[in-house]
Structure 1
Amino acid sequence: MSSRPVISEVPAGPVPVPDIVVALAGDAAITPVWRNELGGLTFRLDGDDGARYVKWVAAGTPEIDLPGEAERLAWAQSWARVPPVLDHGTDAEGAWLITAAVPGRSAVEPRWKAQPAIAAAAIGRGLRLLHDTLPTDRCPFDWSVERRLVRADERITDGEGPADWSPEHQHLGLTETRVRLGEPPTIDRLVVCHGDACTPNTLLHDDGTFAAHVDLGSLGVADRWADLAVATWSLDWDYGPGFDGILYDTYGIDPDPQRIAYYRLLYDLA
Structure 2
Amino acid sequence: MLELAGAPTGPVDVPETVLAALADEGVVNPELTAVWQNSVGGLTFAVRPERGAGEPHLFVKWNPLSSGESLAAEADRLGWLAGIHPVPQIVALAATHGDEALITHALPGVSAVDPRWQADPNTALRGLGEGLRKLHELPVDDCPFDWGVRHRMITDGIPDGAVPEAPPIDKLVVCHGDPCAPNTLLDTSGAFLAHVDTARVGAADRWADLAVMTLSFEWNYKNYDERVFWDAYGVAPDAERIAYYRALWNAGE
Task: Report the TM-score when normalising by structure 1.
Answer: 0.85
Q: Which moved more, 1:109-118 or 1:52-61?
A: 52-61
Contact 1:194 1:218 in 2 (8 A): yes
1:223-244 CA-to-partner distances (Å, cap 9, x unmatched) read 0000000110101111136532
1:80-106 CA-to-partner distances (Å, cap 9, x unmatched) read 000011110210230111111112100
Change (3 A) 1:200 1:136: same
Match of 1:29, as an amino acid?
E
Runs of 4+ in 1 over 4 A off after TM superposition: none
Structure 1 counterpart of 2:141, from 137, 141, 147: 137
Contact 2:77 2:201 in 1 (8 A): yes
1:202 maps to: 184
Instruction: Give the Å deviation of 1:27.
Output: 2.5
Contact 2:46 2:60 in 1 (8 A): yes
2:118 maps to: 113
Structure 1 counterpart of 2:154, from 123, 138, 150: 150
Instruction: Give the Å deviation of 1:61.
Output: 2.1
Q: In structure 1, how many angstroms separate the alpha carbons of the residues matched to 2:88 and 2:248? A: 27
Contact 2:17 2:100 in 1 (8 A): no
Match of 2:66, as an amino acid?
G
Q: In structure 2, how many angstroms separate the alpha carbons of the residues matched to 1:182 and 1:231? A: 21
Q: In structure 1, how many angstroms separate the alpha carbons of the residues matched to 2:128 and 2:108? A: 15
Contact 1:236 1:243 in 2 (8 A): no
Match of 2:215, as an amino acid?
W
Q: In structure 1, how many angstroms separate the alpha carbons of the residues matched to 2:158 and 2:13? A: 29
Higher relative contact order (CA 8 A, sep 6+): 1
In structure 2, the gaps of 5 or more residues are 23-27
Match of 2:10, as an amino acid?
G
Aligned length in residues: 242
1:30 maps to: 32
Instruction: Give the Å deviation of 1:126.
Output: 0.6
2:25 maps to: none
1:126 maps to: 131
SS of residue matched to 2:67 = coil
Match of 1:193, as an amino acid?
C
Q: In structure 2, how many angstroms separate the alpha carbons of the residues matched to 1:187 and 1:244? A: 23
SS of residue matched to 1:179 = coil
Calculate percent identity across the aligned residue pairs: 45
1:40 maps to: 42
Please tell me the root mean square deviation across aligned C-alpha atoms, in Å.
Answer: 1.8
Instruction: Give the Å deviation of 1:135.
Output: 1.9
1:185 maps to: 167
Q: Which moved more, 1:250-259 or 1:96-105?
A: 96-105
1:215 maps to: 197
